[in-house]
């Protein structure tokens, strides 16, 4: 365990979960980073720098060193972050030149759905070539992807010896007060059966061609689709074509995009507001067009537009969203809903984390 370098003050020992935290699944958000051998430091020295800076950053992000209790709060008891060191009989080139997403699961500490009370975990794997692999997992019960990356950036700043540290704002439970969520199971939809992991690479020319396909000059909103919109539409249509031989008109077909709420609030929040301050934008797709286009781009945009300041206000003040997700979860378990979820990291500060050593070769997600 890696514990904070100094104890958490008594008045910060309890961190209240927000309503959005409460309804998140108890799963780890995974990230793997690959580092080559440093010329002036061994991989053990690299690891020691990572551990020392982790101990320091946990004084700032103190809830990550505690334990989640009763889906209600974090006991900030400084118990520490699970940190594992391992060795792999391979070279960095073996992993990066022929990447196989299924192999990435060998580089993680725990099953991704085994978060339970643990807010954060990490593993360093030493490679024969002198490089190392750093796996990180943050529980979705305590924060969203943006919170994950702002924590990672702060951690890297400590590793570099920076003194200009931006302190996170822990007020999500004030923004979205906790509720009685009895009757809702956050684990709904989590399964380990028939899981398949695939990696598809779209180069710039392929993305441009797909964007052109989904550009509809006749639409009221005639803006060309973004890369995320175009790829989402393309993948969704291929998914439907491959899995839904005959569309069932009694089922609800939805496309879901994780969406940051910070910029949609009034007034907007900074990126340093920690917690789950995001919700899924849900597009209910119409399935009646013969050309396979399904008007999906405009429906995705409409779903995102609905996540506005008024939506946030209702999320804060009413039980409407809780009742909605209870009903939708029940429909999902009955097989009445066909959903496809997308998460884009395009605008996240994914590549800015510099731990003060050699440049990172790449990163990967785990399923």
Burial class (CB in 10 A: 0-12, 13-18, 19+), 356: middle
Quickly list H helices, the chain: 19-22, 43-57, 92-96, 145-160, 172-175, 204-213, 227-243, 296-305, 309-317, 320-333
354 catalytic per annotation: yes
Which residues in 161-292 belong to E strands, given as ranges? 252-260, 278-284
Catalytic residue status for 272? no
Alpha-carbon span 130 to 43, nearest angstrom: 6
CA atoms within 13 A on the CB side of 321: 21
* Structural element, H or E, at residue 84: strand 82-88
Query: Alpha-carbon distance 226 to 344, whole Å?
Result: 12
Q: How many other C-beta atoms are found inside a 10 Å radius of the C-beta of residue 96?
A: 14
For the chain, give the number of residues.
367
Q: Are 197 and 365 in contact (CB under 8 A)?
A: no
Strands 132-139 and 252-260: unpaired
User: Burial of 168 by CB count in 10 Å (0-12 exposed, 13-18 middle, 19+ buried)?
Assistant: buried
Catalytic entry in 140, 257, 273, 321: 140
Contact 141, 172 (CB under 8 A): no
Using only C-alpha atoms, what is the Rg of the chain? 22
Out of 94, 103, 171, 354, the active site residue is 354
DSSP 3-state assignment of 30? strand
Catalytic sites, residue numbers: 140, 354
């Amino acid at each position: 365990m890696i514990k904070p370098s100094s104890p958490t003050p008594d008045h910060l020992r309890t961190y209240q979960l927000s309503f959005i935290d409460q309804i998140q699944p108890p799963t780890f958000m995974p990230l793997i980073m690959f580092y080559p051998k440093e010329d002036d430091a061994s991989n053990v020295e690299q690891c020691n720098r990572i551990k020392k800076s982790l101990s320091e950053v946990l004084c700032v992000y103190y809830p990550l060193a505690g334990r989640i209790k009763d889906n209600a709060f974090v006991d900030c008891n400084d118990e520490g972050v699970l940190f594992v060191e391992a060795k792999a009989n391979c070279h960095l080139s073996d992993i990066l030149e022929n990447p196989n997403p299924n192999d990435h699961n060998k580089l993680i500490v725990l099953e991704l759905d085994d978060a339970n009370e643990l807010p954060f975990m990490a593993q360093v794997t030493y490679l024969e070539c002198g490089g190392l692999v750093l796996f990180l997992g943050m529980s979705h019960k305590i924060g969203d992807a943006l919170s994950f990356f702002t924590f990672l950036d702060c951690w890297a700043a400590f590793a570099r010896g920076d003194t200009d540290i931006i302190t996170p704002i822990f007020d999500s439970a004030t923004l979205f007060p906790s509720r009685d969520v009895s009757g809702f199971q956050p684990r709904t939809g989590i399964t380990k059966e028939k899981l398949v992991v695939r990696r598809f690479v779209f180069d710039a020319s392929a993305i441009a061609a797909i964007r052109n396909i989904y550009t509809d000059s006749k639409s009221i909103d005639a803006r060309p689709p973004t890369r995320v919109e175009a790829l989402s539409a393309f993948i969704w249509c291929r998914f439907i074509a491959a899995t839904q031989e005959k569309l069932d008109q009694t089922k609800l077909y939805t496309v879901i995009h994780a969406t940051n709420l910070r910029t949609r609030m009034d007034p907007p929040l900074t990126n340093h507001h920690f917690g789950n301050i995001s919700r899924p934008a849900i597009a209910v797709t119409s399935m009646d067009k013969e050309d396979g286009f399904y008007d999906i781009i405009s429906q995705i945009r409409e779903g995102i537009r609905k996540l506005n300041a008024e939506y946030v206000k209702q999320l804060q003040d009413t039980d409407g969203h809780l009742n909605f997700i209870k009903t939708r979860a029940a429909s999902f378990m009955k097989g009445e809903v066909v959903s496809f979820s997308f998460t884009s990291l395009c605008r996240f500060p994914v590549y800015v984390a510099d731990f003060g050593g050699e440049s990172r070769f790449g990163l990967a997600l785990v399923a």
